[in-house]
Amino acid sequence: QVQLQESGPGLVKPSQTLSLTCSVSGDSVTRGTFYWNWIRQPAGKGLEWIGRVYTSGTTNYNPSLKSRVSISLETSKNQFSLKLSSVTAADTALYYCARVVDSRGGYFDFWGQGILVTVSS
Amino acid sequence: SYELTQPPSVSVSPGQTATVTCFGDNLGDKFASWFQQKAGQSPALVIYHDTKRPSGIPERFSGSNSGNTATLTIRGTQDMDEADYYCQAWDRSTAVFGGGTRLTVL
């Protein structure tokens, strides 16, 4: 069974960079049939896709966040990471990592439990 | 940018059929997925590729997608189905989620 687990600081100061890691077990981030994604959800609100990374290292980002986001693979640790720069209170949210099956109409089949990140001084 | 629109809330009586809609421009030309999110839990996939159910999802969940509307149907709705439901599709390598629908089983 595939499992994803988010980790990182739960509190980040405004203007700093948010850094999170997703640890994958039960699968390899180098297997070429999946994309690895980050999604966030502010309290009481809906889901917002942040971006994805493919096994080749190719990335796609939400246009609204593109200038501040970087997602990368850490293959030796079977992890992938998220960096979001110049954060503000609006970036406070529950952050999920998730796997997408690489097919036409790829679908999110496994999700992590989420990690709450608060942006505050 | 591409948008998916869902009704904020839907109510249904136990045992009846619940219908949750998702509207997007030419959505029928894309594949739609549906997620169930119960309070305090991560989203869970209930429908993918418009109509397919992942292993473990009850047969009472079904989906369709045509024209501008994708629909999630829950037949014989149970108390345990009370949750938020989100539709999702891809638009030019970008994942788009609907705003979510709160399903209340009265």
- According to the model, what pLDDT value does residue A33 have? 85
Q: What is the pLDDT at residue B39? A: 95
Tracing tokens 């996939």 back to the chain, one arrives at B45
Mean pLDDT of chain A: 95
Average pLDDT, chain B: 97
Looking from the CA of A113 toward its CB, the CA atoms found within 13 Å total 4
Per-residue pLDDT at A85: 97
C-beta separation of B21 from B5 below 8 A: no
E-strand stretches of A1-121: 3-7, 11-12, 18-25, 34-41, 48-54, 59-61, 69-74, 79-84, 93-101, 107-111, 115-119
pLDDT reading at A18 higher than 90: yes
Of B31, B44, B86, Cβ closest to residue A47: B86
Distance CA B89, CA A28 (A): 25
What pLDDT score was predicted for residue A9? 97
B58 Cβ contact partners less than 8 Å away, ≥ 6 residues apart:
none
Mutation choice for B interface testing from A1, A3, A40, A47 by most B CBs within 10 A? A47
The predicted structure's pLDDT at residue A104? 78
Element (H, E) at A92: none
pLDDT, tens digit (0-9, with 9 covering 90-100), for B49-70: 999 999 999 999 999 999 999 9
Answer yes or no: are the C-beta atoms of A18 and A82 closer than 8 Å.
Answer: yes
Provide the pLDDT for residue A103: 79
For residue B27, give the amino acid letter.
L
How far, in Å, CA of A91 to CA of B66, rounded?
Answer: 35
pLDDT tens per residue, range A86-119: 999 999 999 999 999 987 779 999 999 999 999 9
Which one of B54, B86, B100 has the shortest CB-CB distance to A109?
A: B54
Query: How far, in Å, CA of B89 to CA of B49, rounded?
Result: 9
* Angstroms from A44 CA to nearest CA on chain B: 10
Q: Over 90: is that where the pLDDT of B12 sits?
A: yes
Residue of chain B whose alpha carbon sits nearest to that of A105 = B31
pLDDT tens-digit map of B17-42: 999 999 999 999 999 999 999 999 99
pLDDT at B57: 97
Residue A45, pLDDT above cutoff 90: yes
Q: Per-residue confidence at A32, pLDDT binned at 50, 70, 90?
A: confident
d(CA B103, CA B106): 9
Residue range A57-74, pLDDT digits in tens: 999 999 999 999 999 999
Task: Give the type of residue at B88.
Answer: Q
Where residue A55 falls (left for φ over 0; alpha for ψ -120 to 50; beta otherwise) is alpha
What order do you get walking across the sheet with A3-7 strand by strand? Answer: A3-7, A18-25, A79-84, A69-74
Mean pLDDT, range A43-51, rounded to an integer: 97
Q: How many CB pairs under 8 A join A and B?
A: 59
Chain B residues whose CB is inside 8 A of the A58 CB are none
Contact criterion met (CB < 8 Å) for A63 and B42? no
Which residues does B82 contact at the CB level (< 8 Å), separation at least 6? B38, B103, B104, B105
Ramachandran sector of residue B40 (left: φ over 0; alpha: ψ -120 to 50; beta: rest): left
Contacts of A60 in chain B (CB under 8 A): 93-94
Is A111 in contact with B31 (Cβ distance < 8 A)? no
Q: Which pLDDT does position B23 carry in this prediction?
A: 98
Residue B105, min C-alpha distance to chain A (Å): 19
Radius of gyration of chain A, Cα coordinates, nearest whole angstrom: 14
Q: In whole angstroms, what is the distance from residue A116 CA to residue A107 CA?
A: 24
